[in-house]
Amino acid sequence: MAIPKRVTITDVADAAGVATSTVSRALSNPDRVNATTREHILDVAARLGYVPNPSARAMSSGRTHTYALLVPDITNPYFAGAIKGAERAAAAAGKTLVLGDTQESAAKEGELIARLGAAVDGIVVAAPRGTDDDLAAAGAAHRLALINRTLPGVPGVPSVVADYDAGTRQIVDHLVSLGHDELVFLGGPHESWSGARRWAGLRAAASAAGIRARRLGPYLPTLQGGPAAADAALAAGARAIVCHNDMLAIGVLRRLAARGVAVPDAVSVVGFDDMFGADFCQPALTTLAERTEDAGACAIELLLRPPSATGTAVVVPTQLRVRDSTGARS
Amino acid sequence: MAIPKRVTITDVADAAGVATSTVSRALSNPDRVNATTREHILDVAARLGYVPNPSARAMSSGRTHTYALLVPDITNPYFAGAIKGAERAAAAAGKTLVLGDTQESAAKEGELIARLGAAVDGIVVAAPRGTDDDLAAAGAAHRLALINRTLPGVPGVPSVVADYDAGTRQIVDHLVSLGHDELVFLGGPHESWSGARRWAGLRAAASAAGIRARRLGPYLPTLQGGPAAADAALAAGARAIVCHNDMLAIGVLRRLAARGVAVPDAVSVVGFDDMFGADFCQPALTTLAERTEDAGACAIELLLRPPSATGTAVVVPTQLRVRDSTGARS
DNA sequence: GATCACATGGCAATCGTTTGCCGTTTGTTG
DNA sequence: CAACAAACGGCAAACGATTGCCATGTGATC
């Protein structure tokens, strides 16, 4: 099973009777050669099955045409959208996407950035776990773009964030329209940047709407966090519960069902993310959808653009998906 | 925001007062240099923050230390496990994983193989969409490994497959023990290799157990396929339904619920994959789990190994997860 | 008809690393 | 103490592409 020797640019040049430089230009700088010559070279290249060697290309040009996407946990469906979007944007631009799983660890994240930094033209970090300083340092050494995190005061590191302000307002408006006059937020880990934004948004929106908002937690942002969170919410007399994310929300739903609490009749539950499964859990979850696919694509596009001196923060809209887990206050 | 110039092996060599070859060997061939020298070089390298340039390394050594994983649809949670496993195995070996989404298309799959083939040391194709000929050709040009597909008669292309024979036997045994004496299989697309294996296994197991097995379909292997599939199964008088995969099974569950058919009291439903969400849909789905994470890791490991002349087919076990969607025959 | 500009293609240096080969040093052995 | 081998480190040639610079040829312009 010998791997056939690869066809190099020299082979093409020889076969076409031109110099390698001409072949190179015919392929990557079409205006630089005569149309006839180019046709001929392209023909020969196609006939020989020539595929440029990316490493060699990277060596001389300095660009690898490869981008990296780092996520805290690949299996978390929340990130599947971002991965898909990034892959789509990269593929559309003829770029390659490499994927890294940081295992929710700031250390692993830093390691990956250092290791991949040399191999790619830019790195997208989704929901970064590192500190602002970590990220600023990384941003100084590599092209970086962030998803759901901003780096205030650090120019040159663009980011894409979900519009939590508008989103949380939608949540509050929805609950208010159902007759609720207070909500309980079941928070996730304190370090979570998006968690902080979600709570800040909820609090502001609640205050604007004249209803009360309380925060409990932190809880594990997973199914396993559900029981503790649900019990605490019930103990606090909650009628409207907003959860840090859908995983927790679904965990809460299960606990409520186990305890015989009717949703949405006795208690309303809202999640964040519109994660895969949010529509087929029982009852189907009302949740704030984030268009993570657009966010992923957008982050890659930010890196494809020439670096902008001023750090951009693209805001992607969010939408409340009203399903069956929210209802009129009892 | 100038990207600082990267430290090269020459810088390290100069700073350490040795030749570049020595630095190179100190890093990648430790036994070839004196321990003292190596220590010194490693120190200097660390102090300077030297990171080897992967492209340059690839140029001279021919190995990129990068592997590709191609999946039909990144957002399909079924593949999340394989992605995670592959990433884990690659990271453990100090390798980089690049990800490709073939969008369920044989053409895109072929394109990606051709484009990435030059950039990686090996490619894992999960649930390949290409024909046997396509894959054999690709396998001749690149190191390839397949997940859930075999290439009979083509040596040199190893694969990892789920143990559907044992798995379907478990399903049938489970149904039989619940008093069922026939089952209806709601099939997915005809081209699906695993679909064919699943049906073949079910049929054989059913025949061995002395119960009847019928196949309906093909249906869309998605939530959207549910209504048509469920209606057909009901029309056929099914009491035990086995679905091509969990997505379809959940679609079927929803349709049954909508039609007021009690699960598992009136009808039992079984899926394949133990996909994310199978445990929190309503009722929780009995399904055959595939350990896709192990499969992904295993596929990468097959590529990490020196090429074996004889194509291997690693079989990873499957397990039936009995939940709430199956019950005694009514 | 001389001059000039531009289009075109070739030469050769370069990117950062690996690795085959060779020279030197050092230690071992008879 | 001579002879030899092993250990170690350096030189320089690859690897396959890009790209700055130069040489040539062509047509346009005065």
In order, the DSSP letters of B176-216 are HHTT--EEEEE---TT-HHHHHHHHHHHHHHHHHT-EEEEE
Query: What pLDDT shows up at residue A321?
Result: 98
Q: Which residue among A114, A119, A155 places its CB closest to the CB of B54?
A: A119
B5: confidence class by pLDDT, cuts 50, 70, 90: low
Query: What is the DSSP secondary structure assignment for residue A4, as one 8-state letter?
Result: P
pLDDT recorded at residue A310: 66
What span, in angstroms and rounded, lies between the C-alpha atoms of B157 and A92? 30
How much is the pTM? Answer: 0.90
* Contact residues on chain A for B74, CB-CB shorter than 8 A: 80, 83-84, 87
> Among A3-12, A18-27, A265-274, whose mean pLDDT is lowest?
A3-12
Nearest to B4 among A58, A141, A277 (CB): A141
| pLDDT > 70? residue B186 | yes
How much is the pLDDT for B175? Answer: 98
d(CA A128, CA A150): 10
Q: Cα separation of A155 and A141, whole Å? A: 13
B286-289/B319-321 β-pairing: antiparallel
**Enclosing H/E stretch for A13:** helix A9-16
In chain C, which nucleotides are within 7 Å of a protein Cβ?
A: 7-20
Helices (H) and strands (E) in chain B, counts: 12, 12
Neighbours of B258 (CB within 10 A): 11
pLDDT in tens, A159-201: 999 999 999 999 999 999 999 999 999 999 998 999 999 999 9
Asked if omega into B30 is within 30° of 0 (cis), the reply is no
| Banded pLDDT at B154 (limits 50, 70, 90) | confident
pLDDT band at A106 (very low <50, low <70, confident <90, very high): very high
* Spacing of C-alpha A163 from chain mean position: 13
For residue B262, give the DSSP letter.
-
Q: How far is the CA of A154 from the C1' of D7 (A)?
A: 52
Most confidently modeled range among A18-27, A169-178, B21-30:
A169-178
Distance CA A277, CA B253 (A): 14
A-contacting residues in B 157-196 (Cβ below 8 Å): none
Rounded distance in angstroms from the CA atom of residue B247 to the C1' atom of nucleotide C17: 49
The tokens for A91 are 């593929």
Residue in the structure block whose two tokens are 């409520």: A256
Res A242 pLDDT > 60: yes
B24 with B52: CB under 8 angstroms?
no
Cα(A78)–Cα(A67) distance, integer angstroms: 20
Share of chain A above pLDDT 90, in %: 82
DSSP-assigned letter for residue A63: -
- The token pair that represents B233 in the structure block: 């199964």
Q: What is d(CA B81, CA B83) in angstroms, rounded to the nearest whole number? A: 5
Contacts of A119 in chain B (CB under 8 A): 54-55, 66, 96
Query: Which of helix, strand or coil describes residue B68?
Result: strand
**For chain A, what is the mean pLDDT?**
93
pLDDT in tens, A132-162: 999 999 998 899 999 999 998 888 899 999 9
Interface with chain B: mutation pick from A3, A55, A67, A83, highest number of B CBs within 10 Å: A55
Pick the residue of B83, B115, B280 with the most A CBs within 10 A to test the interface with A by mutation.
Answer: B280
Q: In whole angstroms, what is the distance from residue B57 CA to residue B228 CA?
A: 55
Chain B, window 65-94: residues with a beta carbon less than 8 angstroms from a chain A beta carbon: 66, 74-75, 77, 80-81, 83-84, 87-88, 91
The confidence score (pLDDT) of residue A255 equals 96
Exposure string of B145-155, with b = 16+ CB inside 10 Å and e = fewer, is: bbbbbbbeebe
Average pLDDT over residues B112-118: 89
Q: What is the mean pLDDT of chain B?
A: 93
pLDDT value for B309: 63
Query: The tokens of A165 are what?
Result: 């302000």
Please give the C-alpha separations between residue A127 and each of A146, B54, B293, in angstroms, as whole numbers: 7, 27, 23
Band of pLDDT at residue B2, cut at 50, 70 and 90: very low
pLDDT at residue A2 in the model: 44
